[in-house]
Amino acid sequence: MRSYLDFEKPVAELEAKVEELRALGENRDAVSITDDISRLEVKAADALKELYAKLTPWQKTLVARHPQRPHFVDYCAGLITEFTPLAGDRKFAEDEAIVGGFGRFRGQPVCVMGQEKGHNTETRIRHNFGMARPEGYRKAVRLMEMADRFGLPVISIVDTAGAYPGIEAEERGQAEAIARSTEMQLSLGVPNVSVVIGEGGSGGAIAIATANKVLMLEHAIYSVISPEGAASILWRDAARAQDAATNMKITAQDLLRLGIIDGIVTEPVGGAHREPQAAIQATGNAIEEALHDLGNMGPAEIRDHRADKFLNIGRKL
């Protein structure tokens, strides 16, 4: 069953009327009902297109968090064949908030990893809502080391509210683990491409998003802190999250203009959750293009390209 956000109520009402007419179709004149349904469907589609053409940063935040939005496991299933997951950091434990392994992306052997939020209560708890502990980032380092050793490109899918902030995570060195993962990405001699598919929250995101090419889905967000967190700090009022979202410049469009990211993947009208397969294939096409652009570079050029990208952030506004 489709889930609607608060600002989508006008579209929800129109689509509900369409479903009501379809249910009545068996007991009414089929021709007239069909005509009414067609008119309402066109009206609903136009309303949806108009609504999503002018989303505010806060509305984009809500779309990025939509529970029916495709997650890492969906992208992995749709884009990676012969996927072999690897578990554990060889130091402490397995962390299912980050899923990773090796497979083939459109015939090319790759290393792929990403945060998985889960689709229902059971999987959300198992994956800790996509909030990784230190062992998750150390597993990511282990995977990247293997990819670098065997000359395999690295694809990372980012979708997290942030790294897990629990006491046990801090005790096991959360900040150090994030730093090591970031350092590993910067030192890779193979191309790496990162895609923010939903939320890109703080160090939990940057730990696997320090890539040669950083892409974002059209309605994804990427920020150092959540709008609610920023509002609580700046104004001591989480209710001002909408103001924070606007001022923080967290949307893909703002970040492309500021040179933080390298490209935007267009989503289907109404967001990736309405047509998941279309969104997944569009993301695959963008990743393929990015890898192709990096394909002729040697290890030293790859490292220099990545370093220059991040050193130039903020210098050309």
Looking at residue 24, its pLDDT comes to: 72
How many domains are there within the chain?
Answer: 2
CATH number, domain at 129? 3.90.226.10
The helix/strand/coil state of 36 is: helix
- Decide if 132 contacts 176 (C-beta within 8 A): no
Domain boundary residue, one of 54, 69, 89: 54
- Decide if 186 contacts 211 (C-beta within 8 A): no
Give residue-wise pLDDT tens across range 171-219. 999 999 999 999 999 999 999 999 999 999 988 999 999 999 999 999 9
* Alpha carbon distance 205, 115 (integer Å): 9
Q: Please give the backbone phi and psi of residue 199, each rounded to the nearest 5 degrees, phi first.
A: -95, 135
The helix/strand/coil state of 55 is: coil
User: Does residue 203 share a domain with residue 142?
Assistant: yes
Mean pLDDT of the chain: 92
Looking at residue 28, its pLDDT comes to: 58
The pLDDT-based confidence of 283 (bands split at 50, 70, 90) is very high
Which residues make beta-bridge pairs with 100? 113
Tally of residues, the chain: 317
User: Does residue 42 share a domain with residue 83?
Assistant: no
* Alpha carbon distance 256, 272 (integer Å): 19
Looking at residue 26, its pLDDT comes to: 63
The helix/strand/coil state of 154 is: strand
Q: Determine, yes or no, domain membership for 317.
A: no
The pLDDT-based confidence of 265 (bands split at 50, 70, 90) is very high
* Alpha carbon distance 64, 200 (integer Å): 9
Tell me: pLDDT of 17 over 90.
Answer: no
27: number of Cβ within 10 Å: 7
Tell me: pLDDT of 31 over 60.
Answer: no
The domain containing residue 41 runs over which residues? Answer: 6-54
| C-alpha distance from residue 37 to each of 25, 27, 89 (Å) | 10, 15, 55
